[in-house]
Amino acid sequence: MSPRKVLLLGVLLIVPVLVYLFLKVFGTNHYSLRTYMPVVEDTGEAMVRNGDTIFHQVPDFKLTSQTGKTITQQDLTGKIYVANFFFASCKDVCKKMSNNLLEVQEAFAREPRVKIVSYTVDPERDSVAVLNKYAQTYGADANTWYFLTGPKEQIYHLAQEGYKLPAMQAPSLIPDFIHSEKLLLIDEAKHIRGIYNGTDPEDVERLITEIKVLLQENKQHVN
């Protein structure tokens, strides 16, 4: 074999190795989502333990889904999830949020690590049967998307203290409720990793992208 052919063969053999090494070193996505809501001490400084900032965690809860199943934080162990607050008789904002959350469900239909948790702020009227009908209207997969009801005090406390979002009954003769249109992305450690406008399709696209980033981040931690 001529020296030219030997050189050409050597180049052909080494190129795949160089490509692999390049991707191995430079091809990893090092972008990471920020963590929201550091725990603040009385001094106003963020609380630190072993050199790491301590961040707020969503507390445990025990509520009932649209299928009548009891759902707690244990059902979300090892998962990341999107949380929001709504009520079934809401005519505008909630419909937009639910339609956009359907996009999230479809984007991760084959990813069991992603869940959606929608809490009603009108539990006195949003029974299991009402939530089940509402879920069916949006094609919600009961194994992926939980619509939760339960004691009003627990839900409002969870919204205000757990997710740091407003939730209350409006002072009027006609039952109406004040709640946020925000969607929150929660990681496996129950930390808030993203906040999005649930009525804005572009912001929901950003949510879908950042769920993928978080999934990849978790995969890298496991490896």
The confidence band for 21, taking pLDDT boundaries of 50, 70 and 90, is: very low
Assess if residue 135 is contained within a domain: yes
Q: What average pLDDT does the segment 116-139 reach? A: 96
Please determine, for residue 13, whether its predicted confidence score (pLDDT) is greater than 70: no
Q: How confident is the model over 211-222, as pLDDT tens digits?
A: 999 999 877 655
The CA-atom distances, in angstroms, between 155 and each of 29, 87, 123 are 37, 12, 9
Residues 99 and 138 in one domain: yes
- CATH number for the domain harbouring residue 161: 3.40.30.10
More confident residue, 91 or 163: 163
Check residue 7 and give its pLDDT.
54
pTM for this entry: 0.82
Counting the structural domains of the chain, the total is 2
Task: State the greatest distance between any 2 C-alpha atoms of the chain, in Å, as a whole number.
Answer: 94
Q: What average pLDDT does the segment 203-208 reach? A: 98
Q: How confident is the model over 136-170, as pLDDT tens digits?
A: 999 999 999 999 999 999 999 999 999 988 766 66
The confidence band for 200, taking pLDDT boundaries of 50, 70 and 90, is: very high
Assess if residue 55 is contained within a domain: no
Residues 20 and 67 in one domain: no
Measured CA to CA, the distance from residue 132 to residue 125 in angstroms comes to 13
Strand partners, 182: 197
Q: What average pLDDT does the segment 189-213 reach? A: 97
Measured CA to CA, the distance from residue 50 to residue 170 in angstroms comes to 44
Residues 108 and 208 in one domain: yes
The confidence band for 43, taking pLDDT boundaries of 50, 70 and 90, is: confident
Distant-in-sequence, close-in-space partners of 93: CB < 8 Å, separation ≥ 6: 86, 181, 198, 199
The confidence band for 104, taking pLDDT boundaries of 50, 70 and 90, is: very high
Please determine, for residue 16, whether its predicted confidence score (pLDDT) is greater than 50: no
Assess if residue 12 is contained within a domain: yes
- For the chain, what is the mean pLDDT? 85
Q: Classify strands 80-86 and 182-186 as parallel, antiparallel or unpaired.
A: antiparallel
Check residue 45 and give its pLDDT.
87
Please determine, for residue 125, whether its predicted confidence score (pLDDT) is greater than 70: yes
Residues 19 and 65 in one domain: no
Domain that holds residue 8: 1-30
Residues 97 and 162 in one domain: yes
